[in-house]
Amino acid sequence: MFTGIITDIGTVTRVAQAGDLRARITTRYDTSGIDIGASIACDGICLTAVALGPEWFEVDISAETVSKTAIGDQRWTEGKRLNLERALRVGDELGGHIVSGHVDGIARVVSVTREGDSTRVRFRAPDHLAGFIAPKGSVALNGTSLTVNEVDGAEFGVNLIPHTKQATTWGDVREGDAVNLEIDTLARYVARLREWGATGG
């Protein structure tokens, strides 16, 4: 479980295909405090640390994960920057919203517009997920908890303040980028309850 509050920006330094895809990611986290098997969200994808070293960890990424996330579009390579978040611990502050690290689909950046010091980014969600995105609701994009400003069909917009652009990889965003999208857990359950009520249980 995660909060969508990014706590580090990692960099892919090695990628190898040996059965699954294995990636080495540098980090400012104290890796002596990370256990093998720990969950770390990498651009919003919950991955398991399978090897550790000074200032780096490695993860295995299955073909299924590659096919269902933006990894399949971006092809992680050396130098790729990633939003990182360690799993939520009991007593931690929930500053964003509940994020599972299970990507629901891939959103595509439609436009990037400067608005003062901030940046307005519009995305197109997959049609089957568009109904879960609501104005002023929460959404996780590349692991970052963001507030939806407006919705127009399958398109929606968010506003990135300077801090967000500096503390995450969102300062690098470009039109056409593929982005990992996780819808709000609460929206998922509301939709399920609605569906259940419509069918009479």
- Same fold yes or no, 8-86 and 105-198: yes
Q: Which CATH architecture has domain 105-198?
A: Beta Barrel (2.40)
Q: Where are the domains of the chain?
A: 8-86, 105-198
CA 88 – CA 65 distance, rounded (Å): 22
**What's the CATH fold of domain 8-86?**
Elongation Factor Tu (Ef-tu); domain 3 (2.40.30)
In terms of Cβ atoms closer than 10 Å to its own Cβ (0-12, 13-18, 19+), residue 139 is buried
Per-residue pLDDT of the chain (201 residues; tens, 9 = 90+): 899 999 999 999 999 987 899 999 999 999 999 999 999 999 999 999 999 999 999 999 999 999 999 998 877 899 999 999 999 876 666 667 888 999 999 999 999 999 999 999 999 999 999 999 999 999 999 999 999 999 999 999 999 999 999 999 999 999 999 999 999 877 665 666 666 665 665
pTM of the full structure: 0.91
